[in-house]
Amino acid sequence: MTRKYFFAMILLTICFGVLGGAISGWVLGGENAFARPQTKIITAQQFLLTDDKGNKVGMFGMTDSGPALVIGDKKNFSIVLGIVNDTARLSFFHKRAGEKKPVEVANITVKGNEPLLSLESGEGDRAIVGILADTPFLHLSKKNKLGCLMKVEEDAARLTFRDQAGKNLIHLVVREKSRAAIGLGDKRSGVDIVSVKDIPLLRVRKKGRILWFAPADKQQDSK
């Protein structure tokens, strides 16, 4: 091996070493760069979810009413979660055959300490259970014709059956201290069987006035 050839080999080895170090540094540096988190906060007004055809099937972001999460498209969306005026609402929609718009069939609403669950068929059949003004209640209705309302107040439990106009047909009231009443009609006119101080009374009322009751010697207790 000649001296010229020897120095050429040394020079070539040095060049390849420098080039290899540069390449490895770039590759490893790139991997580290990709491995590091790019950002911790993403700011956006809306995030849209689309299918393979580009149709919108979901949205999470700000709307005119507040923040909302929508699963489904605008014509047939099925689930909507949003907050409007400090009220959280989760709604379920269903589009029936022949209808132009989806109908809300169920919703859960929470405002402060007042939760409410509502179920509706879209044809007037409805069931509502919740707590309003610290009063738990259950409301059932059939095609807006007949309905019943059950609620528990501070000192009484009530069960009322109503007609289409909301007028009481039958009511049952149980109060503290073993006082109870069952009646036909509304609060002003009707027939009541009332238990006052363990004594049953039969009352007939019309427009707020008691026309007749028995036994007659218990008039003061019935008022």
Each residue's pLDDT tens digit, 11-27: 555 555 544 554 455 44
Average pLDDT of span 151-158: 90
What distance in Å separates the CA atoms of residue 72 and residue 91, rounded to the nearest whole number?
12
Average pLDDT of span 1-11: 54
What distance in Å separates the CA atoms of residue 42 and residue 209, rounded to the nearest whole number?
69
Provide the mean pLDDT of the chain.
78
What distance in Å separates the CA atoms of residue 139 and residue 119, rounded to the nearest whole number?
10
Q: Look-up: residue for tokens 């760069």?
A: 33
Flag whether pLDDT at 142 surpasses 80. Answer: yes
